[in-house]
Amino acid sequence: ACLAPLYSLEGMHIITVEGIGNCRRGLHPVQERLAEAHGSQCGFCTPGFVMSMYALLRSSKQPPTKEQIEDSLAGNLCRCTGYRPIIDAFGVFAKTDDSLYTASPSESANGKAICPSTGKPCLCRNETDVNGNESSLLSSVKTYLPSSYNEIDGNAYNEKELIFPPELQLRKIMPLRLNGFNGVRWYRPLKLDQLLQLKSCYPEAKLIIGNSEVGVETEFKNAQYGVMISVTHVPELHTLKVEEDGLRIGSAVRLAQLQDFLKKVIAERGSLQTSSCQAILRQLKWFAGTQIRNVASVGGNICTASPISDLNPLWMSTGATFQIIDVNNNVRTTVAKDFFLGYRKVDLKDDEVLLSVILPWTRPFEYVKEFKQAHRRQDDIALVNAGMRVHITEAEGNWIVSDVSIVYGGVAAVPLTAGKTESFLVGKKLDYGLLDEAFNLLKEDIPLAENAPGGMVEFRSSLTLSFFFKFFLYVTHEMNTKGLSEGLDVANMSAIQSYTRPVTTGTQGYELVRQGTAVGQPMVHLSAMLQV
* Any domain includes 321: yes
* Contact indicator for 289, 317 with CB cutoff of 8 Å: no
pLDDT digits (tens, 9 = 90+) for 286-311: 999 999 999 999 999 999 999 999 99
- Geometric angle at alpha carbon 226, from 221 and 229, rounded to 5°: 100
Q: In angstroms, how far apart are the furthest CA atoms of the chain? A: 91
Q: Is the pLDDT assigned to residue 34 strictly greater than 90?
A: yes
pLDDT digits (tens, 9 = 90+) for 345-365: 999 999 999 999 999 999 999
Q: Is the pLDDT assigned to residue 170 strictly greater than 80?
A: yes
Cα separation of the two ends of the chain: 17
- 437 in the same domain as 376: yes
- 291 in the same domain as 261: yes
- 513 in the same domain as 417: no
* Contact indicator for 250, 356 with CB cutoff of 8 Å: yes
Q: Which domain holds residue 219?
A: 166-230
The proportion of the chain whose per-residue pLDDT surpasses 70, expressed as a percent, equals 87
Poorest-pLDDT segment among 298-302, 464-468, 488-492: 488-492
Q: What's the pLDDT score for residue 377?
A: 86
- 213 in the same domain as 241: no
Banded model confidence at residue 96, pLDDT cuts 50, 70, 90: low
Q: What's the pLDDT score for residue 520?
A: 74
What is the residue-averaged pLDDT of the chain? 88
* Any domain includes 273: yes
* Contact indicator for 38, 532 with CB cutoff of 8 Å: no
| 3-class DSSP string for 40-75 | CCCCCCHHHHHHHHHHHHHHCCCCCCHHHHHHHCCC
- 277 in the same domain as 202: no
- 288 in the same domain as 201: no
* Any domain includes 43: yes
* Contact indicator for 515, 129 with CB cutoff of 8 Å: yes
Closest CA to 86 of 114, 47, 119: 47
Q: What is the mean pLDDT of residues 417-421?
A: 98
Q: What's the pLDDT score for residue 203?
A: 97
User: CA 266, CA 503: separation in Å to the nearest integer?
Assistant: 25
- 452 in the same domain as 522: no
- 245 in the same domain as 211: no
CATH of the domain at 311: 3.30.465.10
Q: What's the pLDDT score for residue 498?
A: 83
* Any domain includes 191: yes
* Any domain includes 409: yes
- 245 in the same domain as 224: no
For the entire predicted model, the pTM comes to 0.87
Sheet holding 227-230, edge to edge: 176-179, 185-188, 227-230, 206-208
Helix and strand element counts for the chain (H, E): 18, 19
- 352 in the same domain as 301: yes
- 410 in the same domain as 444: yes
pLDDT digits (tens, 9 = 90+) for 35-86: 999 999 999 999 999 999 999 999 988 889 999 999 999 999 999 998 999 9
* Any domain includes 3: no
CATH of the domain at 205: 3.30.43.10
* Any domain includes 149: no
- 401 in the same domain as 344: yes
Q: What is the mean pLDDT of residues 4-25?
A: 92
The beta strand positions in 126-233, using DSSP E, are: 127-128, 134-135, 176-179, 185-188, 206-208, 227-230
* Any domain includes 45: yes
Poorest-pLDDT segment among 192-201, 344-353, 429-438, 495-504: 495-504
Task: For the chain, state the CA radius of gyration.
Answer: 27
Q: Is the pLDDT assigned to residue 235 strictly greater than 50?
A: yes
* Contact indicator for 71, 287 with CB cutoff of 8 Å: no
Banded model confidence at residue 2, pLDDT cuts 50, 70, 90: confident
User: CA 297, CA 251: separation in Å to the nearest integer?
Assistant: 7
Q: What's the pLDDT score for residue 209?
A: 96
Poorest-pLDDT segment among 123-127, 156-160, 306-310, 315-319: 123-127
Q: How many domains does the chain have?
A: 3
CATH of the domain at 515: 1.10.150.120
